[in-house]
């Protein structure tokens, strides 16, 4: 018996057609599926068009909507494929990893760098690969793109135009797909039943540090949000030369109950605040949260999820350092 797969359409490049002002999502999921008829030879597909947007317009409320759609249909299908624009796909994959935890069924995101109507499109192979993965024994949230299967909490778009658009950061790929076969290396952990969540706190911001950043910007972002992620330099730290006031602003904000996470702009190997004095005192004196080897995309999704559940600082710290879908490796001292 063929496996039943729910295809959830959201728009993106794969569904776009050229308009006067550039590519615009126009095709629905049924139209996309008709372009790849071989998929229905190995699985039974039902289509659900959730929205038709450029993924630049993705939002936390859309993530909750996706999770809810999967929750409502979870018992009726063997797997799920979300057709999504590439630009924010890694953020969506991370967010869904927190909204839908320990799923024993595969939840696969895919898309394309070229519209399905283009002569040189990568969309048809990505769609076929995604549905084959959704029929496999893999579990949890993942991205399938250019023959690679990447864990949802570890994916990042690293190329703007190349077909091999996504990379797995600080973690191996789960599988490759070659000639219609899923070749697994790692099977993520799962439970007998998934745990669904339906709340995210969208009041989370990201500050990317550059040399000369004014601490007033940090203060304003902390005033406007419940959580702030700071992408600092190297292994992490804040400027400490006279007049910068970063440390004082962070201390004051944390005293008001704001949640602050330090991560790094460097793609590989993660943060280590203990190395330099500019980071050490943030960690030892203020107890700022540290992302270690997490991707920024995962930190965003995790912090929104945590703040959607609790405002208690001890619970926030516990949940942040509690691994979800292999999102973080960290020293045992943080456990």
Q: For Cα atoms 41, 42, 46, give the angle at the middle one, nearest 5 degrees.
A: 85
Q: Is 13 a catalytic residue?
A: yes
In terms of phi and psi (left: phi > 0; alpha: psi -120 to 50; beta: otherwise), the region of 86 is alpha
From 67, 146, 163, 65, select the one nearest 107 (Cα to Cα).
67
Instruction: Tell the residue number behind the tokens 């599988």, with chain if given.
Output: 175
Catalytic residue, candidates 13, 121, 153, 259? 13
| Residues catalogued as catalytic | 13
């Amino acid at each position: 018996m063929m496996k039943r797969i729910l295809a959830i359409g959201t728009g993106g490049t794969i569904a776009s057609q050229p308009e006067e002002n550039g590519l615009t999502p126009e095709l629905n999921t049924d139209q996309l599926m008709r372009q790849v008829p071989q998929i229905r030879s190995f699985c039974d597909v039902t289509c659900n068009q959730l929205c038709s947007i450029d993924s630049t317009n993705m939002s936390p409320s859309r993530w909750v909507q996706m999770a809810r759609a999967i929750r409502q249909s979870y018992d009726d299908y063997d797997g799920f494929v979300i057709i999504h624009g590439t630009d924010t796909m890694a953020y969506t994959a991370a967010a869904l990893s927190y909204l839908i935890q320990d799923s024993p069924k595969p939840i696969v995101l895919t898309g394309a760098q070229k519209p399905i109507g283009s002569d040189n499109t990568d969309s048809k192979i990505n769609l076929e690969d995604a549905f084959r993965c959704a029929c496999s024994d893999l579990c949890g949230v993942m991205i399938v793109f250019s023959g690679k299967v990447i864990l949802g909490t570890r994916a990042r778009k690293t190329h703007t135009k190349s077909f091999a658009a996504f990379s797995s950061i600080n973690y191996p790929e789960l599988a490759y797909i070659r000639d219609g076969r899923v070749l697994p290396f790692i099977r993520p952990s799962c439970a007998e039943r998934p745990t669904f969540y339906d709340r995210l706190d969208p009041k989370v911001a990201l500050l990317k540090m550059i040399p000369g950043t004014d601490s007033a910007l940090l203060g304003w972002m902390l005033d406007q949000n419940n959580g702030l992620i700071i992408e600092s330099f190297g292994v992490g730290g804040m400027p400490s030369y006279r007049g910068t006031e970063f440390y004082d602003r962070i201390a004051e904000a944390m005293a008001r109950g704001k949640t602050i996470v330090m991560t790094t702009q460097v793609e590989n190997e993660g943060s280590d605040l203990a190395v330099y004095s500019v980071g050490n005192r943030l960690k030892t004196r203020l107890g700022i949260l540290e992302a270690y080897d997490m991707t920024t995309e995962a930190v965003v999704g995790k912090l929104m999820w945590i703040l959607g559940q609790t405002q208690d600082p001890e619970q926030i710290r516990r949940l942040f350092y509690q691994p979800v879908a292999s999102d973080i490796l960290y020293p045992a001292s943080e456990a």
